[in-house]
Amino acid sequence: MDINKFSPTGAIDRKHLISLANVTEDEIYEILYKAKEISTRLLAGEKLTYLKNKYVTLLTKRSFARSRIAFETAVTKLAGIPMISTMHGSELETIVKDKLTMEAIASYGVNAIVVQTAEATDAEQIEKSVRIPIINANSKSGPCEALSALLTVWKRKGRLSGLKLTMVGDPAVYADSFIYAFANCGFDITLVCPPDKNPPEEVINHCNQYGDLVITDDLEDGLKGADVVFISEDGLDFNYTVDSANLEFAKPDVIVLHTLPISPDGNLSEDVISSPAFAGLEEATCLPEIEMAVLSLLVGKPKNNL
């Protein structure tokens, strides 16, 4: 479906956002439209109160992180009350797996829990323990980062469906949300990775339901005709460096996505980072917009904005 022909309702029939594996194309479009709407209204000087008198807590191991600041910004701009619980090592793991502790936290008046841990399964575990909305904010495989990438492409390209996407990196790192996000929105996807790093069969079958999926270990061949290039550095024990030379195989107006930060020894050259094609910074700025959209749809009450 063409996102520009989609008619948003301003609501989704969903309580949690853990993965994009079972999220429909319509639900993705609802979130993207809500993100644009909220951004436009804030720029116009409106005061939004979707989260007025609501407490949203972030469970994280990080005392400082880009995604943590994005969370605080998102909750605050919607008049909510952000609460951050920073724990380290086994402390957080113990709490996440303790059903009674999570039930107790939920009973304190918390309206939603955002889970920013290294394991996506942590959010799944908490979802089983409480009745309030749970949002997985894993920085690499979480839905919010993947939706930020989609919003960036929509802003830059003006559309989503019918674009060719080349994904460079280990699918085991980003498959849970990024591949599903792009596939569900009609991208033709090429994965560049060694043969022993191919994604699971269920991921391949899912992608083939929505568009073309090609898997190659040849970087230059994979970049041919790409409208969008997505680069993941985590989990790599091989080297596929995207630079201005091999990026010439992509389309002239190609954009390059990257979930920050960029490793100095990573798979993206400095000449690409400093070029107009690089959209990593814009992708990062889209994160709080997406989080505001998700929180407003899952937690907020539209009547508060009348």
Ordered by start, the domain boundaries in the chain are 7-142+287-305, 143-284
- What is the percent of the chain where pLDDT is above 90? 65
pLDDT of residue 304: 39
Checking if the pLDDT of 235 tops 60, the result is: no
pLDDT of residue 301: 58
Comparing 7-142+287-305 with 143-284, is the CATH topology the same? yes
Sign of CA dihedral 215, 217, 219, 221: negative
Beta carbons within 8 Å of 303's beta carbon, 6+ residues apart: none
Q: Give the tokens for residue 261.
A: 């930060």
Q: Give the tokens for residue 159.
A: 């559309």
Q: Which of 167, 58, 160 is nearest to 105 (CA)?
A: 58
Please give the class, per CATH, of domain 143-284: alpha beta
For the residues 150-156, what does the mean pLDDT come to? 98
CB 255 within 8 A of CB 279: yes
Measured distance CA(306)–CA(301) in Å, rounded: 10
> Which helix or strand (DSSP H or E) is residue 216 part of?
strand 213-216
Q: Give the tokens for residue 223.
A: 């970049």
> Which helix or strand (DSSP H or E) is residue 294 part of?
helix 280-298
Checking if the pLDDT of 38 tops 60, the result is: yes
Amino acid at residue number 296: S
Read off the pLDDT band of 25 (50, 70, 90): very high
Task: Give Rg (Cα) of the chain.
Answer: 19
For the residues 205-224, what does the mean pLDDT come to? 90
For the residues 252-272, what does the mean pLDDT come to? 90
Superfamily name and number for 7-142+287-305:
Aspartate/ornithine carbamoyltransferase (3.40.50.1370)
CB 229 within 8 A of CB 190: no
pLDDT of residue 303: 44
Tell me: cis bond preceding 199? Omega within 30 of 0 counts.
no
Sign of CA dihedral 212, 228, 185, 66: positive
Beta carbons within 8 Å of 104's beta carbon, 6+ residues apart: none
pLDDT of residue 100: 93
> Which helix or strand (DSSP H or E) is residue 293 part of?
helix 280-298
Checking if the pLDDT of 39 tops 60, the result is: yes
Contacts of 85-91 spanning 24+ positions with Cβ under 8 A: 85/57, 85/58, 85/59, 85/60, 86/60, 86/61, 86/62, 87/59, 87/60, 87/61, 88/61, 89/61
Whole-model pTM: value is 0.93
CB 298 within 8 A of CB 273: no
Higher pLDDT, 189 or 263: 189
Least confident piece of the model among 101-105, 118-122, 168-172? 118-122
Higher pLDDT, 202 or 10: 10
Measured distance CA(261)–CA(249) in Å, rounded: 25
Considering the chain, what is the average pLDDT of its residues? 90
